[in-house]
Amino acid sequence: MTPARSATRVVLIPSYNPGRVVFDTVTAALRQWNPVWVIVDGSTDGTVDGLQKLAASEPALRVVVLPGNKGKGAAVLQGLDLAAGEGYTHALTMDSDGQHPAELIPAFMAASAAQPDAMILGRPVFEASAPSLRVKGRMISNWWANLETLWAGIDDSLYGFRVYPVAPLRRVMRRQPWMRRFDFDPEAVVRMCWHGVRPVNLPAPVKYLRPDEGGVSHFNYLRDNVLLTWMHLRLFLEFLLRLPLLLARRWRQA
Ligand SMILES: Nc1nc2c(ncn2[C@@H]2O[C@H](COP(=O)(O)OP(=O)(O)O)[C@@H](O)[C@H]2O)c(=O)[nH]1
Ligand SMILES: [Mg+2]
């Protein structure tokens, strides 16, 4: 049974070559929420046909197919623009590869409804099987994100299971060319804090599927760590320029 349609909140699933596991992910999301939009980011894994077939029989599902691969952030922005055009005020983002807990969509949406000006961030709860290099690596990104926001309360900078208010995120993204690829999640959370959007953290499990369970990642250690390092360098330099304003804001709040 499909849940009642929300007029204010939409689930956005950017998807790039996730393989067959995308069907379980989308079906699990549809069990929890209506509407669910998948933004196919130039996938070449043959999942487009199956997704479009599913959408034909499932009115809660919309599949938007981008002609080429533009990156996770660019795919989310496409969804945000469509959402804004149709009057949605908030969007929950989740990955297409079965790593994120669809069963927590209603709780995250409820937290967002209770605090509409805030962003609701997943705080990852890892299984023992999570690759320790990825788990430790994110501590570096978290440290930078906390410095760049003067410890505004970001528990995790990288976890993409989140609810954002649509208008400030579109404003932040339109102002600069970054945040279009893997730098989307951490840069979004830092810039939204700078923009005055408060983070609220909720625990949420992360799954690491084995390849035989359909697990795939397009994270490339060298390419994506270079991208993240460059991102934090940019953010840190901008942080120095913003420091007087951030300190003044903190002073007023104290
Ligand atoms: N890596 C990557 N992911 C993309 C892209 N476009 C959309 N995505 C989606 O972004 C999410 C995260 O990507 P993933 O490779 O699973 O990264 P990981 O979970 O950090 O290992 C998935 O839902 C992807 O389908 C892209 O160009 N590259
Ligand atoms: Mg993944």
Give the closest residue to 141 by CA, choosing from 184, 171, 176, 204.
184
Beta strand spans in the chain (E): 9-15, 36-41, 61-66, 90-93, 119-126, 162-165, 199-206
Asked, for residue 123, whether it belongs to a domain, the answer is: yes
Read off the tokens for 238.
């901008």
Number of domains in the chain: 1
Task: Give the bridge partners for 205, in sequence order.
Answer: 125
6, 35 contact by CB (below 8 A)? yes
Asked, for residue 196, whether it belongs to a domain, the answer is: yes
Q: Which amino acid is at 108?
A: F
For residue 59, pLDDT beyond 70:
yes
Cβ-proximal residues to 205 (8 Å cutoff; 6+ apart), any chain: 101, 124, 125, 126, 127
160, 182 contact by CB (below 8 A)? no
- Measured by CA distance, the residue closest to atom 20 of ligand 1 is 219
Asked, for residue 2, whether it belongs to a domain, the answer is: no
Q: What is the CATH number of the domain that holds 169?
A: 3.90.550.10
- Measured by CA distance, the residue closest to atom 27 of ligand 1 is 71
Asked, for residue 223, whether it belongs to a domain, the answer is: yes
Distance between Cα 97 and ligand 1 center (Å): 8
pTM comes to 0.96
Range of the domain at 152: 9-253
* 36 against 210, higher pLDDT: 36
The pLDDT tens digits for 89-128 are 999 999 999 999 999 999 999 999 999 999 999 999 999 8
Q: Is 124 in the pocket of ligand 1 (CB under 6 A)?
A: no
Residues 42-63: what's their mean pLDDT? Answer: 97
Distance CA 28, CA 215 (A): 16
